[in-house]
Amino acid sequence: MSEAKRLAAEKAMDHVEDGMVVGVGTGSTVAYFIDALGRDPTRIKGAVSSSEQSTARLKAHGIEVLDLNHTGPLSLYVDGADECDPRRHLIKGGGAALTREKIIAEASERFVCIIDASKQVEVLGRFPLPVEVIPMARSLVARQITTMTGGQPVFRMQAGDKAVITDNGNVILDIHHLSITDPKALEMAINQIPGVVSVGLFARRPADVVIVGGEPPQVP
């Protein structure tokens, strides 16, 4: 499995051009991509990072981490996904970095998604859908999503019975038992609930290119 992730990350290097500022996602597949960038850290101008975790890895390789407010629009964003459907719609946020990932994807001209074959599905929803929520709105959002979707929201916890707190200081609800036949509509509907920071559906802004480790790239 991790060999397929590594192969996908290596293939994404074909999209990296000299002097670029590269948007960088989060997760184990992206870690391989950061390591590949790190083989020649001065080849790119720098990176915009989607998480503290990726920032630490980029810096460890000597890659400058830049502020999106200063870079302006990006040419390239490379990130993994938890699920990917045939239209390149994604579920993301397994690593709790969905909000910054979504911001960078929106700011980027080309979103290259790197996955292994286990992430490919016909219909999104087998992977619980992450939703980042302002802490005081947790129960309200959970109730509204249950009514709206019939799914089952689960408050994401970590070892020691502590809530997972995002890099933005918020909490995560993972919505189980969904079958997402209209991802754009669900993305927009969940976004409307007060207290929702972002939902880990990338349908309104899908990936442009999907690289499945060990398989030819999928483009429109």
**81 binds ligand 5RP per the rule CB under 6 A:** yes
> According to the annotation, is 94 in a ligand binding site?
yes
User: From edge to edge, which strands make up the β-sheet containing 83-84?
Assistant: 83-84, 90-91, 201-202
Residue 104: exposed, middle, or buried by beta-carbon count in 10 A (0-12, 13-18, 19+)?
buried
Considering the complex, what minimum distance in angstroms separates the CB of residue 112 from ligand 5RP?
12
Among 57, 89, 92, 138, binds ligand 5RP (CB under 6 A): 92
**195 binds ligand 5RP per the rule CB under 6 A:** no
Give yes or no: 64 in active site.
Answer: no
Considering the complex, what minimum distance in angstroms separates the CB of residue 97 from ligand 5RP?
4
For 124: left if phi > 0, alpha if psi spans -120 to 50, otherwise beta; the answer is beta
Among 95, 125, 128, 183, binds ligand 5RP (CB under 6 A): 95
Stretch that binds ligand 5RP, among 6-14, 92-100, 144-152, 179-187 (CB under 6 A): 92-100
**203 binds ligand 5RP per the rule CB under 6 A:** no
Considering the complex, what minimum distance in angstroms separates the CB of residue 24 from ligand 5RP?
11
Count of helices and strands (H, E) across the chain: 7, 14
Over 157-185, what HEC string results?
A: EECCCEECCCCCCCEEEEEECCCECCHHH
Among 21, 46, 54, 93, binds ligand 5RP (CB under 6 A): 93
Catalytic residue among 10, 17, 64, 101: 101
> Strand (E) positions, the chain?
21-24, 46-49, 74-79, 83-84, 90-91, 108-115, 129-133, 152-155, 157-158, 162-163, 171-176, 196-199, 201-202, 209-212
Considering the complex, what minimum distance in angstroms separates the CB of residue 35 from ligand 5RP?
13
> Binding site for substrate, residues?
26-29, 79-82, 92-95, 119
By annotation, the residues acting in catalysis are: 101
Which residues are at the interface with ligand 5RP (CB under 6 A)?
Answer: 25-29, 79-82, 92-98, 101
